[in-house]
Amino acid sequence: MEIFHCTLGQHMSKIHNKIKVIRANSGMTQDDFASALGVKPSKVRDIESGRQRVNDEFLTKLVEIFPVDMNWLFSGRSDDLEAPSISPADGNKPLPGQVRINSQEYSTIGVFDVDAAAGNGIIPVSEAASDMMAFTRSWLMRHGVVADLAGLLRVRGDSMSPTIPDGAYVLVDFRGKADWSVPGIYIVRYNGAIVVKRLQLPIRSNENWVAMISDNATYPPIFIHDPDDVEFQPIARVRGVISNV
């Protein structure tokens, strides 16, 4: 982390300009960029304008979410400020889109094809988005969801009922994989399948396990005693459920 202090002190203006380039290449507005980083839009505006110093916390979040070339970001050269093309999420993210209807702004989120896995969650049929669904940008911002860092998956099976009924769609935030220590429902890659489960961590800090819990009590919890196991990988956090009544 010391490199942040040293370099920032020498090349602050270039850092501000390069952060602006990173946001522009991601196709995000300042509000969306702020939401992706978990900061206030005013902070992004102040940083880009040079009114506020870039701190370690901001940079840590930046490199966690965006594939930033650190050599380019911290170089003191006066080369032109053209960063590599930046995609803010992994290859599973849907394509972003913006729609305006009667002065109301909407963002489209990709819908992924999935198939049933005998009551144990979901298995992807296609990694490409098969359809798009529109949400008002104001609603997404209130719930902390960035459209091009999110996706919709259809869940087959009853392992998470009644919270997630069979056939329901879940709105997932791909940023959730960055910090799954927060209790909640997650999409998890486990033993070659993709499942939707509630993750629970131990209360005692000296214990190292995570439980994958089904809200349907007929399905017993699955305990992972080595969370670093390659067979256990949280992919996204569930932020909402869309189902028929």
Contact 203, 225 (CB under 8 A): no
Kind of pairing, strands 98-101 and 104-116?
antiparallel
Domain limits, CATH 2.10.109.10, in the chain: 98-242
- For the segment 197-222, the average pLDDT, to the nearest whole number, is 87
Domain limits, CATH 1.10.260.40, in the chain: 2-74
pLDDT at 19 over 50: yes
Q: Which CATH class is domain 98-242?
A: mainly beta
pLDDT for 81 equals: 38
Looking at CATH, the fold of the domain delimited by 2-74 is given as 434 Repressor (Amino-terminal Domain) (1.10.260)
Q: What is the pTM of this model?
A: 0.57
Distances (CA, A) of 180 to 100, 167, 242: 34, 25, 22
pLDDT tens-digit map of 131-187: 788 888 888 888 878 887 888 888 888 899 999 998 888 998 877 555 677 788 998
CA-wise closest residue to 24 among 12, 34, 33 = 33
Residue 219 pLDDT grade (very low, low, confident, very high; cuts 50, 70, 90): very high
Q: What angle do CA 149, 151, 155 make, to 5 degrees?
A: 150
pLDDT for 162 equals: 92
pLDDT for 163 equals: 92
pLDDT at 86 over 80: no
Contact 167, 115 (CB under 8 A): no
